[in-house]
Amino acid sequence: MTDTATSPDVRDPADTPPSADPPRRPETVVPSLADLLGFARSAANDPEVLARLALHPEDRTWIRLDGPQGTEAWVIGWPPGSETGWHDHGGSAGAFVTASGELSELSLGVPIPTDGWRSLELAEGVDRQRSLPEGKGRSFGAHHVHQVINPSAEQHAVSVHCYYPPLPKLRRYARDGDTLRLALVEIPEEW
């Protein structure tokens, strides 16, 4: 018979000296772009999530979701021909997935500084365009400027978006050829 009091694998908690180090706070886990895209994809495939959105025939509609790891998430309905205009996400990284229909994204293939300018001349060749049919998505970093469009003349589209950190603001831009100008800064209370 083994004496558990002297066994090297069993310790009496009373014999453990108090730690000199203060307890550690849990580290904040910053979600990766893959995490953001994974959540958007999962929500875009969940009929219960999508059923919460009421589509409007002429206006974009949206509902907020509880995203994982301190993220902000949205389900957005896109009537035929609707679009966002050029914008960024105030320094937040993000991802989105088309749940139904098809979206088109126009973006700039270079990171744009988030603050400290009112007008930029864009170099030739920085424009990117991609089509995102149902089930397709993409992620992007904190300095991403884009415009999202429902190119259909007949069909609604629905998408799921996820951002980290939660959106502190949206900067909206006016684009005239190769010139991008800051037009408006919106804060969350204005959405």
- CB-based contacts of 11, cutoff 8 Å, min separation 6: none
Domains parsed from the chain with CATH numbers = 31-190 (2.60.120.10)
- Separation of alpha carbons 74 and 142, rounded Å: 17
Query: Tokens standing for 94?
Result: 């993000």
The answer to whether residue 156 scores a pLDDT higher than 90 is yes
Task: Give the model confidence (pLDDT) of 104-146 as tens digits.
Answer: 999 999 988 877 889 999 999 999 999 999 999 999 999 999 9
Task: Give the model confidence (pLDDT) of 9-50 as tens digits.
Answer: 443 344 444 455 555 555 678 999 999 999 999 999 999 999
**pLDDT for the residue 175:** 97
Contact 80, 156 (CB under 8 A): yes
**pLDDT for the residue 16:** 43
Average pLDDT, the chain: 89
Query: Tokens standing for 85?
Result: 């205009």
For 163, other C-beta atoms within 10 Å of its C-beta total 24
The answer to whether residue 164 scores a pLDDT higher than 50 is yes
- Separation of alpha carbons 97 and 45, rounded Å: 10
**pLDDT for the residue 29:** 87
Read off the DSSP letter of residue 107: E
Query: Quick one: pLDDT band at residue 180, thresholds 50, 70, 90?
Result: very high
Q: Model pTM?
A: 0.84
For 180, other C-beta atoms within 10 Å of its C-beta total 21
Q: 69-83, 114-128, 173-187: lowest mean pLDDT where?
A: 114-128
**pLDDT for the residue 112:** 86
Q: In 7-145, which ranges are E strands?
A: 61-66, 72-78, 86-87, 93-100, 102-108, 119-121, 127-133, 137-140
* Continuous segment of H or E residues that includes residue 39: helix 33-44
Nearest Cα neighbor of 157 from 104, 106, 102 is 102
The answer to whether residue 95 scores a pLDDT higher than 90 is yes
Contact 162, 39 (CB under 8 A): yes
Query: Tokens standing for 67?
Result: 């995203």
- Separation of alpha carbons 73 and 37, rounded Å: 11
- Give mean pLDDT, residues 162-179: 96
Read off the DSSP letter of residue 163: E
DSSP SS3 for 21:
coil
